[in-house]
């Protein structure tokens, strides 16, 4: 999983990224070392109420004074990239577009394996 | 008039290699290289470039940023993106961003040359003309209501420029990174030129006020004034060597020459000029009297023009839930003020949401320059 995020996280100006399920659960969080405090602050947010508002949205951008959020819908949730204004946004959009099929594939494989385990155990 | 092709890549070894491979095509085009997006912009500013080939991934200004800048400042120059970063969807995103072509690395010099030559041929499909009287030729285009892009080179000035016509109407002009009337005046001051004709025009909205006749007259007047100022400056500098009557005589002769030039223009054109003289300046609208929706529309219209892709602007409380959540997030991670939101709902449309006392929503079409609109509204 680490590799598929490499291109996005390695882009200049990208602070980090989150993957949030449709229900608002943080499934994954990866931030550069210098933005760990940002990661900590974002982990406390009620994402469920945010994902409700995102229903029907393919992608979105939230532009704040100091940073921007790029939100991309995947089959199972939302990928959120936090980036500074110096980041090449077109490159980030392209990398997210490229990354999503791999992300969905991993998620769906994960579910299948989970289901298999559940069957065997119970 | 051999076209110049600018190739941009941070990999200098690759640049040297491709430049050497393209050398055998020097009859068709000349290659100039740049190892960064910034270096490319410097070259574009000072050279008459016909086509740009750029790598996608470069440190600093990447291929997308360079493409966006070229589309904005040099909209008539086609850009080819070349990349080794050929992932599914890269091609789609590159074309969607406005590139004229896409090539996956590695490729041979011949493959690239073929693409370049095909594109350059399309750009001069209307033919090339040499030693042409520019003002006469432009009046012909106006009369025949042609849509075209003229790439003009003045050997005497050692410069090149572009003039854009749509249905015989002059839409814009460009020299280097300068566009509009000033660029038109400079090009129109060239007398004998070489030009290449392309049967297309990237501009749909007029960026230059007035018709060709008025612009030609203004350009002539401006040229005469410039020459006269130059002569006056020269005569001032030479004051200790020349006596007053000679200086006066010189000025009168310049005046006569200027009058003669103006008289050589048909009567109809002079009438147009007369109409221009009485034209009053439009009063700037009072922004404080405008509603939020009107202010947004006015800003976008002023900055981008008519091709802004706006479908509708309205106040809509139903977006407030999303705005409040976005405000909560911004507050939680010290993101600062929430300037604007962009939302893509697929087949249900694309929206730019502007928070405020009342939430304003801008519905845009798929071809809208949304990054520019977002930038303008974030300022």
Q: Could you tell me whether strands B169-175 and B178-179 are parallel, antiparallel, or unpaired per DSSP bridges?
A: antiparallel
Residues of B with CB under 8 A from a CB of A: 56-57, 59, 62, 64-65, 68, 87-90, 93, 97, 321-322, 325-326, 328-330, 332-346, 348, 371, 374, 378
The angle, 0 to 180 degrees and rounded to 10, between the axes of the packed helices B212-237 and B181-188 is 70
Other CB atoms within 10 Å distance of the CB of residue B175: 21
- For residue B235, the model assigns a pLDDT of 57
- For residue B234, the model assigns a pLDDT of 58
- For residue B267, the model assigns a pLDDT of 41
Is the minimum CB–CB distance between A90 and chain B shorter than 8 Å?
Answer: yes
Cβ neighbors of B184 (< 8 A, separation 6 or more) are B163, B170, B172, B173, B208, B215, B219
CA distance B207 to B188: 16
Question: Is the ipTM reported for this complex over the cut 0.90?
Answer: no
Burial of B342 (0-12, 13-18, 19+ CB in 10 A): buried
Contact predicate B63/B54, CB 8 Å: yes
- For residue A51, the model assigns a pLDDT of 95
The angle, 0 to 180 degrees and rounded to 10, between the axes of the packed helices B320-332 and A36-43 is 130
- For residue B96, the model assigns a pLDDT of 82
B253: pLDDT confidence band, cut at 50, 70 and 90?
Answer: very low
- For residue B233, the model assigns a pLDDT of 63
Q: Which tokens is B366 given?
A: 């798929």
B322: pLDDT confidence band, cut at 50, 70 and 90?
Answer: very high
- For residue B277, the model assigns a pLDDT of 40
Q: Flag residues of chain A having pLDDT under 50.
A: 110-122
Query: Is B335 within 8 Å of A45 when comparing Cβ atoms?
Result: no
Q: What pTM was estimated for this model as a whole?
A: 0.63
Query: Is B344 within 8 Å of A57 when comparing Cβ atoms?
Result: yes
Nearest CB neighbour to A60, from listed B333, B334, B343: B343
- For residue B284, the model assigns a pLDDT of 62
Helices (DSSP H) in chain B: which residue ranges? 12-21, 37-46, 63-73, 90-96, 109-123, 134-143, 181-188, 212-237, 244-263, 267-278, 292-304, 320-332, 370-378
Burial of A118 (0-12, 13-18, 19+ CB in 10 A): exposed
| Nearest 10 degrees: Cα torsion A79, A85, A91, A97 | 20
Model confidence at B131: pLDDT above 70: yes
Query: Is B97 within 8 Å of A90 when comparing Cβ atoms?
Result: yes
Portion of chain B with pLDDT greater than 90, in percent: 35
Query: Is B329 within 8 Å of A62 when comparing Cβ atoms?
Result: yes
- For residue A41, the model assigns a pLDDT of 92
CA angle, B324 then B329 then B334, to 5°: 125
B348 CB neighbours in chain A (<8 A) are: 56
Query: Is A44 within 8 Å of B332 when comparing Cβ atoms?
Result: yes
Query: Is A94 within 8 Å of B64 when comparing Cβ atoms?
Result: yes
CA distance B230 to B236: 10
- For residue B305, the model assigns a pLDDT of 76
Query: Is B339 within 8 Å of A67 when comparing Cβ atoms?
Result: no
A94 HSE (CA, 13 A, CB side): 26
Q: What is the average pLDDT across B252-265?
A: 45
Name which of B7-16, B151-160, B254-263, B284-293 the model is least confident about.
B254-263
For the stretch B48-66, pLDDT in tens is 899 999 999 898 888 999 9
- For residue B379, the model assigns a pLDDT of 78
What is the nearest CA distance from B63 to chain A, expressed in angstroms?
A: 9
Is the minimum CB–CB distance between A9 and chain B shorter than 8 Å?
Answer: no
What is the nearest CA distance from B37 to chain A, expressed in angstroms?
A: 13
What is the nearest CA distance from A115 to chain B, expressed in angstroms?
A: 30
Name which of A67-71, B32-36, B92-96, B169-173 the model is least confident about.
B92-96
Q: What is the CA radius of gyration of chain A?
A: 15
CA distance A16 to A39: 8
CA distance B103 to B84: 9
Element (H, E) at A63: strand A59-64
Distances (CA, A) of A91 to B61, B96, B235, B293, B331: 11, 13, 58, 32, 27
- The residues in A 97-116 lying below 8 A from B, measured between CB atoms, are 97-98, 101
Model confidence at B160: pLDDT above 80: yes
Q: What is the mean pLDDT of chain B?
A: 82
- For residue B281, the model assigns a pLDDT of 45
- For residue B19, the model assigns a pLDDT of 92
CA distance B279 to B190: 27
Nearest CB neighbour to B339, from listed A41, A63, A97: A63
Query: Is B332 within 8 Å of A58 when comparing Cβ atoms?
Result: no
> Of A12, A94, A102, which to mutate for an interface test with B (greatest number of B Cβ within 10 Å)?
A94
Q: Which tokens is B256 given?
A: 């006569």
Model confidence at B239: pLDDT above 50: no
Among A66-80, B229-243, B253-267, top mean pLDDT goes to A66-80
The angle, 0 to 180 degrees and rounded to 10, between the axes of the packed helices B12-21 and B109-123 is 70
CA distance B242 to B78: 54
* Cα-to-chain-centroid distance, residue A11: 15
Model confidence at B280: pLDDT above 50: no
The better pLDDT of the pair B86, B102 is held by B102
* Nearest residue in B to A96, CA atom: B89
Q: What is the average pLDDT across B216-225?
A: 78
- For residue B196, the model assigns a pLDDT of 87
- For residue A3, the model assigns a pLDDT of 66
CA distance B1 to B48: 11
A12 CB neighbours in chain B (<8 A) are: 59
Name which of B16-20, B128-132, B237-241 the model is least confident about.
B237-241
- For residue B257, the model assigns a pLDDT of 45
Distances (CA, A) of B1 to A59, B43, B50, B154: 47, 18, 11, 10
Query: Is A61 within 8 Å of B341 when comparing Cβ atoms?
Result: yes
Other CB atoms within 10 Å distance of the CB of residue B35: 16
């Amino acid at each position: 999983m680490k590799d598929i995020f490499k291109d996005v996280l390695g882009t200049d100006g990208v602070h980090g990224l989150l993957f949030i399920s449709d229900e608002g659960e943080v499934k994954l969080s990866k931030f550069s070392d210098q933005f760990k405090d940002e990661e900590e602050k974002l982990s406390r947010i009620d994402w469920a109420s945010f994902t409700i508002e995102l229903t029907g949205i393919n992608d979105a951008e939230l532009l704040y004074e100091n940073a921007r959020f790029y939100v991309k819908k995947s089959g199972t949730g939302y990928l959120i990239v936090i980036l500074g204004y110096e980041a090449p946004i077109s490159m980030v959009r392209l990398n997210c577009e490229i990354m999503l099929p791999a992300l969905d594939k991993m998620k769906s494989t994960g579910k299948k394996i989970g289901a298999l385990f559940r069957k065997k155990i119970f | 008039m051999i076209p110049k092709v600018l190739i941009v890549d941070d990999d200098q070894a690759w640049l040297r290699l491709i430049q050497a491979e393209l050398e055998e095509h020097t009859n068709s085009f000349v290659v100039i290289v740049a190892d960064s997006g910034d270096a490319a912009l410097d070259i574009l500013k000072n050279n008459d470039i016909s086509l740009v080939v750029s790598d996608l991934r470069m440190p600093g200004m990447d291929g997308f940023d360079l493409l966006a800048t070229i589309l904005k400042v040099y909209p008539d120059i086609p850009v080819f993106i070349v990349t080794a970063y050929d992932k599914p969807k890269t091609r789609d995103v590159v074309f969607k961003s406005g590139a004229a072509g896409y090539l996956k690395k590695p490729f041979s010099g011949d493959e690239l040359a073929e693409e370049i030559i095909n594109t350059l041929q399309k750009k001069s499909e209307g033919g090339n003309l040499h030693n042409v009287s520019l003002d006469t030729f432009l009046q012909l285009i106006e009369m025949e209501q042609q849509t075209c892009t003229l790439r003009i080179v003045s050997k005497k000035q050692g410069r090149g420029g572009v003039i854009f016509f749509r249905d015989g109407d002059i839409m814009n002009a460009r020299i280097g990174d300068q566009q509009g009337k000033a660029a038109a005046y400079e090009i129109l001051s060239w007398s004998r030129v070489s030009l290449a004709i392309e049967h297309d025009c990237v501009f749909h909205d007029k960026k230059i006020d007035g018709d060709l006749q008025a612009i030609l007259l203004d350009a002539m007047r401006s040229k005469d004034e410039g020459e006269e100022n130059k002569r006056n400056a020269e005569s001032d500098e030479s004051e200790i060597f020349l006596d007053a009557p000679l200086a006066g005589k010189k000025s009168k002769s310049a005046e006569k020459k200027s009058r003669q030039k103006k008289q050589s223009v048909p009567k109809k054109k002079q009438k147009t000029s007369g109409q221009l003289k009485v034209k009053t300046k439009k009063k700037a609208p009072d922004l404080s009297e405008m509603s939020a929706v009107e202010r947004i529309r006015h800003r976008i219209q002023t900055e981008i023009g008519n091709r802004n892709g706006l479908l509708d602007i309205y106040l809509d409380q139903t977006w407030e839930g999303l705005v409040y959540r976005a405000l909560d997030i911004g507050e939680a991670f010290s993101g600062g003020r929430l300037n604007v939101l962009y939302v893509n709902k697929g087949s249900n449309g694309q929206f730019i949401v502007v928070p405020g006392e009342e939430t304003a929503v801008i519905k845009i079409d798929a071809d809208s320059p949304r990054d520019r609109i977002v930038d303008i509204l974030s300022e």
